Each structure stands twice: as C-alpha cells, then as structure tokens.
Amino acid sequence: MKTDYDYIIVGAGSSGCVLANRLSADPAVSVCLIEAGSHDKSLRIQTPAGTITLYKSKKYSWNFFSAPQKNLNGRSLHTPRGKALGGSSSMNSMIYIRGHASDYDRWAQAGCPGWDWISVLPYFKKSENNRLGQDPRLHGTTGELNVEAARDPNPVSRLFVKAAQQVGIRRNDDFNGDQLEGCGLYNLTQKDARRLSSYRAFVAPVLDRPNLTVITDCSVQSLVIEDRVTRGVRVESEGEQTTLTARREVILSAGSLGSPSLLLASGIGPANDLTNAGIQLEHDLPGVGKNLQDHLDGLITVRSKSPLTLGFSLGSLPSILTSPLRYLFGKKGWLTTNYVEAGGFARTPLAETLPDVQFHFVPGYRSHRGRLFEWGHGYAVHTCVLRPKSIGEIRLGRDGKPVIDFNFLADPQDAKVLIEGLKLARRILADPQFDGIRGTEMLPGKQVQTDEQLMTYVRECAATVFHPVGTCKMGVDPMSVVGPDLKVHGVQGLRVVDASIMPTLISGNTNAPCIMIGEKAADMILNRNTRPYESQLARQETGTTPTSPAAETQSS
C-alpha cells in the first residue's frame, strides 16, 4: 500500500467526495480518500426505495444512539449515519435543499467572511446539473450532481400539496428558487431513476486518475501530530495498523459525529473532557464537539384502508409484484419512491418573517410502533423545528466511542414551535383533499389535543431528523474550532470540511450545503482567491443581487 500523499481526506461522504474530485484534478497532486465503510454496490443503495432498509442496516449504517435525553423522558435516540462510499448521501432521501439565504448571511455576520449567500451561491451552481429547466440565475446545469423531479410520485403526495394550499400555504415548485416558503414535491439527486450520491457523482467517474487512491474498510484511529503540525493518520485495515503521511494537509470530512470524535481521539479538544476520557492532551481547543445542533422531529401517522398509498396488503400485491418490472423497463412504480416525496416550509404563529418548520410527507404508513414495515396502508407527516435554539455536544466516553447529547428541548421555545408545527400539519391532513382516503390517526391520536398533551407526546416520541451539524464550528470566537478558511485553530496542516463546520443549522436538509462546503474548501485549498470576485460573479450571473431563497417577508 502506498503510504505517502499530498492530501489525505478522511471520509468519503458528501463533502469529502467533492474534495477528492477537485483536488485530484491536478495530476501533479496525489490524493488519498479514506472511507471506514465499504462499497456502495448494493441495490438497496442504488434503488431509491431501498433507502428505508438502510437506516438500521448493520452493514451500511453507523447505528449510533444518543445519550439519554433528559427532556425527552430519558430516551436514547437512534442516530444512523452512512457507512459506505458516499457516506450519508448513500442512505438519505436524496432531497436537494440549500436552505435560506439568511442562513449563510448569519454565518458571515458571526465572523465568517466569504460564507454569505452571495459568496456561496456560485459553489452551489458549480456542482449542480439541474434537469428541470429552473431559473438559471440560481441553478447550474454543468455540474456533476443531477437534480431531477421524482420519477413517479404517489398521487397521495400531490394531495398533500393541494391540501396545504387550501390552508393557506403557497405551492412551491422550487425550494431553491426565489422563495423557500411553501409546499410542493421535492427535487432529488438522482440519475436515470437511481440514487446519485456524492461518491457516484464526483468520485466514481474519475477513479481512473492515477493520482487518486480510494481506500475502503479502513478506520482512522488518530491523527499523527508533532509539535502541533499534522503529519498524517494512523489507520487500521484488515487487522493491520499503518501510518499514512500527508505532505500538505489532512482534511477531516467524517461528518458532525466523526470529525470531532477523531480530533478528540487525537488529543485535540477541551482539556477537561480529554482528561476525563483518559486521552493525552495535544492541543486545548475548547469548542471541539460543542455546538451540536439538529432538527427535532415530530410525527403524525394515519392508518388508511386505501391501497392508493404505499403499503403491504392484498390490494397492493399486484403493484408490489410488478414493481421490479416497472422499474427495470419504465423507471416507474414503487421502487422509484424516496418515501418523503412531498413537503415544504411553513410559518407557525410563532414565526416572524421566515418559515420555522419543515414538513416531510410520506404517502405510506409510518409505524406507530417504530417498526420498519407494518401490514396495511396510510400516510404520515414529519414536522421539524427549522431553527432550533437547543445546543448539545459530543464527547468521548472511556471506551473511545462518541457520546452524543443533542440536549433537545433545552430551550423551551423549540417545544413551542414543534407543537405549533404539529397543529399546522394536522390542519393540512384534515383538509377535504384527504376525504377519499381518510383513516385513523395513530400518532399522536385524536385524544391528544391540548398543548399540554402534545408536549407529553413530544417528550415521548420526538426524534432527530438526521441533520447533525456544528461540532467543529467555523468562526473566530473562543469556542470556534476552525477559521473561515476551515483550518483548525492552533494546528498546522489540518482542516475540517463537512457539516460540522456550520456555525448554525441551515433551514432544511443538509446534503446540498455539504457539497457546497466541499466545493468552496477545494478552491481555498488550491489557493484560488475567490473572495474578490465572488460577489461580482454572482451579480453578473443573476442580473441582480441573488436573494434565493429570498429573505422573505410573505404574508401567506
């Protein structure tokens, strides 16, 4: 095995795969991309409908569980992360969402110049291959990442969009267009009715580059640090330990759980936490593992007798049995679904000008018992708090494993927003659009009506929606871990490039922003001084100052 490279990238997820592509485009530069998981060749990964089987997979998921959540009745929450080439982009629902313009402007205002919306828009466009004919001011068409409409959405998903309109939520056909607010069918990162993970988009097409090495089933144990200079990584593969050397940089792209864990395991982090974990201190960096944020999610699930919805029953047997043929020959049918086909962004009465909740609508029955599959039919709405105020942390236990404490509902405002969001979701499902397939609400159940009862339900059943960020926060304050250039404070030759650098959680799904982070980081690493012309470029391409998704002040 070759053991020395210019760049070593730890983690072949959404950001890491972009980096591997961009850095290895220079044939004079050697790049090693390390993935602890395995290949992604399974039909469960490549077929959209297979996503539902991945979250509890022992092979393709890191089945983490959080620390007991004191404000959620002491429950430990299942926290799956992707364990394969592509990382979590090989197991997510493939939804392409950038967030709101103000999300990025907040980053810049918090001491991260160059990360405002006008500056990051060109990087979103660079990677995008929009196949929908959407606004060219705001979308790219020459990138590697296909963005397409769902191939064969279930008709019940369209009912949800119509019902949302009836209760005053506008229809939105492009959540990455001029406005974020509204409901519609989600656009997806797919190609030819197959999942397009970050690995499949950015790395698989360039595997023939002789200067790019991709290593799977390889666990990085720690960083090699000498006098606060990162020299490489210690890895274990097939029971053998090896040291890989980086001549220029080691780049951590292991995600919001993996990257801080590796820093801590290497002695970089809060001195007290490292001492308690029995780890020798290399560099006291108080912010490592802190600032954990995620979208807290509440479920409304309804049983229905209608075989129009996805589900297992005698009535649906013909469509189930023919689904492989429909998928193989027509790219249609059940196997094309990503399950959360529709959804959107809305304002509860607690919101000011911006949406404060997001919906993910499933045209199938979500088990009220937490099972992967249930016999029968139905539909469900997930509602999440879009801009949570509660902050958690990650630390290492004595066993070396990460202790994940989301600290959900530490701020009471999050509970209030979620309760109002659940009420709004119920209003949508109560609309006459659903009369033809109406069923019985299993969760929370019709007996749960008051705010106090809904609060009890939230404590009993709320969960993460799998968007952890922030644990290696970007900034210049004492609790930041990396600067705006993504270099780790106080340690040379080391950067973090993934969702963990987000100072605050963006308004929506996190895959597209992670790809943008990889694009922008690659330019910084390659010493492309983009800052002087980013704003000018964005204005030239749009004809105006880009505001998408707009800093909205809609009244509906």
Known binding-site residue numbers: 220
Burial 457-467 (b: 16+ CB within 10 A, else e): bbbebbbbbbb
Q: 270: burial class by Cβ within 10 Å (0-12, 13-18, 19+)?
A: buried
Do residues 415 and 403 touch, judged by C-beta distance below 8 A? no
CA distances from 416 to 75, 100, 164 (A): 20, 22, 21
Q: How far does CA 324 lie from the centroid of its chain?
A: 29
Query: Which one, of 122, 143, 140, lies nearest residue 196 by Cα?
Result: 143
Alpha-carbon span 194 to 70, nearest angstrom:
40
Query: Which one, of 151, 155, 152, 153, lies nearest residue 306 by Cα?
Result: 155
Do residues 351 and 553 touch, judged by C-beta distance below 8 A? no
Alpha-carbon span 431 to 427, nearest angstrom:
7
| Cβ neighbours for 442, distance < 8 A, ≥ 6 positions apart | 301, 302, 303, 368, 378
CA atoms within 13 A on the CB side of 77: 25
What is the helix (H) or strand (E) element at residue 17, kind and residue range?
A: helix 14-24
Catalytic residues: 467
CA atoms within 13 A on the CB side of 140: 18
Residue 209 CB neighbour total at 10 angstroms: 17
CA distances from 431 to 382, 419, 437, 441 (A): 17, 19, 11, 14
Alpha-carbon span 435 to 193, nearest angstrom:
31
Tokens in use for 241? 């330990």
